[in-house]
Amino acid sequence: MAQEKYCLGIDFGTTNSKLAYWFFEQPCVIRNDAGEANTPSVVHFKDDGTVIVGREAKENLIPFPERTIASVKRKMGSRHRYNVDGEKYPPEYVGALIFRHLMDLARSQTGIDFADAVVSVPANFSDAQRSAIKDAAEIAGLNVTRMINEPTAAALAYGLRAAEGEKKTILLYDFGGGTFDVSILTVSDNFFNVEASDGIKKCGGDDIDSLLTAHLGQIIECEHKVDINQDLKTLQMVRAAAEQAKIELSEVEQTTVNIPFLVGKSHEGPVAFSCELTRATLNSVIADLIQSTKMPVVDVLQRAGLSFADIDDVILVGGTTKIPAVKAFVEGLTGKPPLCYIDPYEVVAMGAAVASMEGTGVRFDQAPSGAPSPALEISDVVSHSFGIHVFPENVEKIVEKNEKLPICKSKPFTNIYPYTPELEIEVYEGERETTVSANRIGAFFIDVVPRPAGENQITVSFEIGTEYGILDVTARDKETGIERKVRMEAKSRLTNQEKLKWAKKLANGNILTVVVQDDARKVETALIFNPNRTICDVMQRLQQRRFIPTTESNQFLLYHEKQALLGSEALSEFVSGNEVYLSLRNVDESGDVHPRKK
């Protein structure tokens, strides 16, 4: 099949990241020169100002822990900042460094300069966390065409191997480096339908490393009177040994932990530490953590209206599922031996590569009759509820968790207080019933005619697209017809100016700001691009951001000054001081150009 563009499938992981792309009618994992699919999600800032990412960066966790950042995915969507040499880096920039490294790896191994990507995210990630990961990819210069839930991506990889014409119900148990997700999907005729998803945000291999590190720390303190928590280098040394022991005990019953130069602040000199660690000990240390994944599994089955007897296949995803105790737990819980014939480390990246083909008309296999099978379709769900603040401190949900995407739902509301000239619409995310415990996303006001309490009639509508990560909220006064539509942005999200700042830093200034103005609506948007991108890329990004409707994209043209642009022009042709100014106009059937209608 001929393709104009290749698209990367990226599994941006807490501990490791993986890459794949669609090549010769199948997902192909991209490996480094050593044949490894895993790239450690670790960034090291060197003294000379340069940055290294991946395996080499991870080797600096012990000697230079204060200059090395790991598990940045857990900080996405937060206001956390990493302080290195007086510079405060947001998680999005650190993540962008990883994305840029992955882009360079993909280019060196395939010879393809990838511009587009499908990026996977944990199913239980919030809007803020998803937006932060997308921002990180865009800062690195990638155009994120879709964000897909990790369990859904894994099902796509396995689904290609399901018999045509067969319908299956699949339970995806995704235990990765930083998060746990579980999803129920039905698969038939290349249609992947997510019934329900749930999970735990901080539950993964990182947490097992922490538990095993604490266990070793107790032994060390008992034998050598060294508190590993008093020295960062010592703590990282023990943590690295714990991680290695965890990996080895997934293959053997017993291993030896050796730390030849263990140093404590209160100790006179280095001491050698060695101990035997058994798989049974590991199992006892992590038993409660594994058990904590049971509740989300049971809950997701109930939400889907199913029982374990209704499940046809159980699929293991994520490196943590390689631990024998995890496999045994899943089999004991579900009553079915789990499938794992695709490497749990690679399956999400492979599925993301498959997802990149949705909408292209690609058909993967032949139906039993010999006719082409249906094209790939994916139906996902929203993993959190959304609602607004109602009197006194409650959250009235408009969108419920696990509703099918895309979503457009409305509810009527009224004024509690009499004769107010405006009403505030406060938007919340999460399953909590009160504003005290729910996550406030944002708020806006709508003007109303002052009326007695209970007489204003306001309809509030929530709209979430198939991507999940863009929430549009509309409030409309039934009496006056006044309408206010606001796109909700997470409070912690970087502004366009901040994104541009970090994109310029990453690209050493070789970056463009493309400002698109829609004079009819008196609105504009700013986008970040590499100079070698084209007007077509700008139109695609505008559609993704819903600045123009995807279904009506052929009705609009971009103009530079008075010149209509065809789409193939490079942005570098229109640069003025690292900026490009374009206007959006509507074209009618006669070919006349006029400003876009409201």
Question: Closest Cα partner for 218 from 285, 278, 268?
Answer: 285
Question: Closest Cα partner for 514 from 478, 565, 462?
Answer: 565
Question: Closest Cα partner for 535 from 557, 567, 564, 563?
Answer: 567
Amino acid (1-letter code) at residue 496: N
Q: Which residues are catalytic?
A: 11, 73, 150, 174
3-state helix, strand, coil in the chain (%, to 5): 30, 35, 40
At residue 477's C-alpha, the angle toward residues 476 and 482, to 5°, is 75
Point out which residues pair with 171 in neighbouring strands: 184, 314
Contact 216, 238 (CB under 8 A): yes
Question: Closest Cα partner for 444 from 430, 433, 458, 464?
Answer: 458
What is the Cα–Cα distance from 534 to 377, expressed in whole angstroms? 28
Residues 6+ apart with CB under 8 A from 276: 254, 255, 256, 257
> What backbone phi and psi angles, to 5 degrees, belong to 291?
-65, -30
The SS3 assignment for 323 reads coil
- Maximum Cα interatomic distance, the chain, rounded to a whole number of Å: 87
What is the Cα–Cα distance from 127 to 470, expressed in whole angstroms? 8
Both structure tokens of 363? 């058909």
Q: How many residues does the chain have?
A: 598
The SS3 assignment for 308 reads helix
Contact 459, 475 (CB under 8 A): yes
The SS3 assignment for 289 reads helix
How many Å is the Cα radius of gyration of the chain?
A: 26
Tokens 């997470």 belong to 490
Question: Closest Cα partner for 230 from 221, 222, 242?
Answer: 221
Point out which residues pair with 516 in neighbouring strands: 525, 582
Question: Closest Cα partner for 301 from 184, 173, 463?
Answer: 184
DSSP string, 61-84: TTT-GGGEEE-GGGGTTS---EEE
DSSP string, 362-386: ---SB-TTSSBPPPPEEE-B-SS-E
Question: Closest Cα partner for 19 from 47, 49, 39?
Answer: 39
